[in-house]
Amino acid sequence: MASTNAPPSPASLRPLSPHLSVYRFTVTMTMSILHRVTGCGLYLGALLLAWFLIATSMDAAAFGVVSSFLTSIVGRFILFGFSWALFHHGLGGVRHMIWDAGFGLETPEREWLAWATLIGGFALTILVWSIGYAVR
């Protein structure tokens, strides 16, 4: 901040473009950010799938290492996050397809779609984990 008794320069009188700190969080904006964050998370999570497949293709010892990691508390937490990211990102993709088709772009619809992505992502994750614990 410049000293307060200096006259305002012409530059400081210009209207500022909206800045990150004055943005109000909206659900559509949050889902947009989460879509990208979950996409990047899945990018890293692909390493986990590769590790699992390669270890399974090797021998029982390598499989045992990846299996005990994935069934540990940390491993389950990562897998839970990976599956949530997969479903959230997938539903986000469906939302984008609806938009691409020209539907759901008006205010109530797009807000509703954003909430459906968020709630649906968690619902699918819990559903699949319930099935997983039931068939295990």
Chain-centroid distance, C-alpha 136 = 27
Tell me if 89 sits within 8 A of 55, measured CB to CB: no
CB-nearer residue toward another protein: 26 or 36: 36
- The minimum distance between CB 94 and another protein, in angstroms, equals 7
CB-nearer residue toward another protein: 76 or 119: 76
| Mutual angle of helices 73-100 and 27-58, in 10-degree steps | 130
Tell me if 121 sits within 8 A of 34, measured CB to CB: no
CB-nearer residue toward another protein: 27 or 128: 128
Specify the amino acid at residue 128: V
For residue 112, the tally of other CB atoms under 10 A from its CB is 13
Interface residues toward another protein, by CB under 8 A? 36, 39-40, 42-43, 46-47, 49-50, 53-54, 56-57, 60, 63-64, 67, 83, 86, 90, 93-94, 96-97, 100, 128, 131-132, 135-136
- The minimum distance between CB 52 and another protein, in angstroms, equals 9
